[in-house]
Chain A
Amino acid sequence: MDASYLLISTLNGLSVGLLLFMLASGLTLIFSMMGVLNFAHASFYMVGAYVAYSITQAIGFWWGLLLAPPIVGLMGAAFERFALRKVHKFGHVPELLITFGLSYIILELVQLVWGRQALDFRPPESLQGPLFTIVQLPAGMQLAWGSPPLMCREVAEAICTTFPAFRAFGMGVAVAMLIGVWLLLTRTRIGLVIQAALTHPEAVESLGHNVPRVFMGVFGGGTALAALAGVIGGALRVTEPSMALAVGAVVFAVIVIGGMGSLAGAFVASVGLGIIESFAVGSDRSIADALRFLGMTVNEQTFGYAVWSVKTSQIAAILPYLLLVLILIFRPKGLFGTREG
């Protein structure tokens, strides 16, 4: 395992983790404010990608990036105002069910409007090339901006790995969003009201603030963040009807591991999961190897060899859920959570 592999895997993991965080932050924000576990959150992520695709086709990617989040945010706010608020008085289970139903409705609507096939949603021309190249030489590692330098073609021992510019851009957007949300919540009056409404809604209401409107704003804001993630995720991966399903489950794992309602927890959990997955895929070690390391003999005749010999790379995809189960058993409130259970 050389240095360039470590670097590129860390970067890949970070980029996946930051994308996850963009999604998880909105979900955890909505949960901490309103106690609603929004099952349709990943669906808003998908709608964000589709809306951005349509805007991109019409007037360009940058407008898509700029306009899709507020458009989807408005949809989210409208859903809160006209549907979620109506069932609020019946308790949490109906709220959960209505978002669950919404996720199916959104999926069908998206398929009706945009079709069942994957769309050709690409990053803008200016972000399509590599941002930098990691050159691994026997002597050591170098970095070069832009496309691979000449040395990659001329020196036989040079191993060059490029890092796509759009991946870096997505990471930048996520970090900017993290800082933005954090500043908003801790440094502004709006943030103060939101935080107060979180713990003492009656007191905030008696001070003359419209708490239901704050809730609507938070729900809309949360879905707008999901849509922003969708714009990045849709262009970076694939824009297709199954994209919500692909991230939906993992995002719940993230907020449970991080601790329900904790923004810091969501950040640590999503970046952590991204990096763990990136390295797990790269590892061919198995439990059998670990047992051998401990001095035990493990071979085809050993009981349960098929299980012991499964490589880490093969179970990379289920690691988040494995962690989810472990966290629920040993620390039900999550890494940074404050609520019990």
Chain B
Amino acid sequence: MALQFKRRLFGATVAATALLSSGLVFAQAGQTVKIAFMDPLSGPFAVVGQNQLKSWQFMAEHFNKKNAAGVKFEVVGFDNKASPQESLNTLKAAIDQGIRYVVQGNGSGAAAAISDAVTKHNERNPGQEVVFLNYAAVDPALTNERCSFWHFRLDADTTMKMEALTSYMKDQPNIKSVYLINQNYAHGQQVARFFKEGIQRKRPDVKIAGEDLHPLGQVKDFAPFIAKIKASGADTVVTGNWGPDMTLLIKAANDAGLKAGWYLYYGGVSGTPTALANWQGGPVRQVSIIHNGLKSIQDIQNDYKKRFNDDWYTGQTYNGLALLAGAMAQAKSTNAVAVAKAMSGIKVQGFNGEIEMRRLDHQLQQPVIISEWRKATPQVSYSVENTGFNFQEVRTLPPFVASTPTSCQMKRPS
């Protein structure tokens, strides 16, 4: 039972040793585990990053009351300005501060940069390994051709989401013509690619009326795009946009009176629900791993709202800490290598049933949910961004259905 002594952790270690001598608790209990959060805390996507930093810290508090390993989590925020380049600097700063766990999610470009940098760092600095939990970057490459032992993905990746989405859309006979609009980077391109692949397999009669890729976070006026969608005659729009790119898109669609239905990835992300509140067009459905009616998250989302007057929509913050705590309990240590080894293949209880960190590629296996933006009901009463609306489940695909194969061949530490 090797304990890594650090002056900073000394007090905690003493406490742990004291507990150990009583013979009741494991070595890791009582230790403080620092987690570096790196996502945009300034710039166009700041509103999303700020919410998610609060969500991680809020969840850390939640788990600090009780968790499988008996550790204390502490989440420290770093501003990576949504840039892969800047992420490398924040990663270095976090490592220099002795932090061994990194969480990031906004932007597959930044996620890929961090995953590569962490892998290289771990090869070159044995004894100082870092574990990367990617909680929202859904580019499939990260768990396929670019997979790494040190990278763990908590969200369902685009292949899984598109498998679920197209399985659902297959049964919607009024969908005849689909327009794809996405952000022009890895994630948006993958959404377009896997949607076309999936729908062609399941509903070859559905026409792709048009396809657009626009620069990430740069477009402030989506009116020309909406005019184009309208002219294409599409009855449905599919988009993986998030943050302001989603909010402004919906705003422009509403302003122009677009009647099409929408299939989104991120309808619940800060700002977008407010724009959806007076939506006049067709049904708005979302593919994600969470919906507002889940029994297990009622207290969490209500407490979060009471505290911050904001919404807790990143369910991965719960699952991430549940996985870490589970792995630390199993490894009986907070050492990054031991925890990573334990986490690879672990099964724990998430907020929506049992989840499994697939050993092959470190893609979390979990249910994928299609939900619809509807007026709050007595059964599902939560009011997203105080709009009186919320996302209600229309279909849940169990993990074994949503699961997709991987080509990952990762190098495991000996």
Contact = CB atoms under 8 A, between A and B. Distances in A.
Whether chains A and B associate is yes
B192 to A, nearest CB: 13
Contacts of A167: 223, 255
Interface in B75-105: none
A314 to B, nearest CB: 6
A302 interface: no
B257 A12 contact: no
Interface of B: 41-44, 46-47, 50, 184, 210, 212-215, 218-221, 223-225, 227-228, 230-231, 233, 244, 248, 255-257, 259, 271, 274
Given A159-B230, A284-B210, A317-B218, A8 B44 contact: no
Contacts of B255: 130, 162, 164, 167
B45 to A, nearest CB: 10
A242 B227 contact: no
Contact of A238 (B210, B214, B215, B244): B244
Contacts, number: 97
Contacts of B215: 317
Interface residues of A, number: 44
Contacts of A111: 42
B220 A246 contact: yes
B230 A116 contact: no
Contacts of B212: 281, 313
A240 to B, nearest CB: 6
A278 interface: yes
B50 to A, nearest CB: 6
Contacts of A12: 221, 223-224, 227
Contacts of B213: 314
Contacts of B230: 5, 8, 159, 161
A236 B42 CA distance: 21
Contact of A9 (B41, B224, B257): B224
Nearest to A233: B220
A183 interface: no
A277 interface: yes
B166 to A, nearest CB: 24
A160 interface: yes
Interface string A7-35: 01100110110000000000000000000
A237 B248 CA distance: 8
Contact of B228 (A133, A152, A162, A282): A282
Give the 6 A-B residue pairs with the shortest CB-CB distance, closest first.
A162-B257, A281-B224, A5-B231, A237-B220, A164-B255, A12-B223
Given A238-B220, A277-B224, A278-B227, 5 more contacts: A15-B223, A117-B50, A161-B257, A164-B255, A282-B227
A120 B43 contact: no
B48 to A, nearest CB: 10
A234 to B, nearest CB: 11
Contacts of B259: 160
B228 A116 contact: no
A161 B225 CA distance: 13
Interface in A108-127: 111, 116-118, 120
With most chain B CB atoms within 10 A of its CB, the pick from A15, A111, A117 is A117
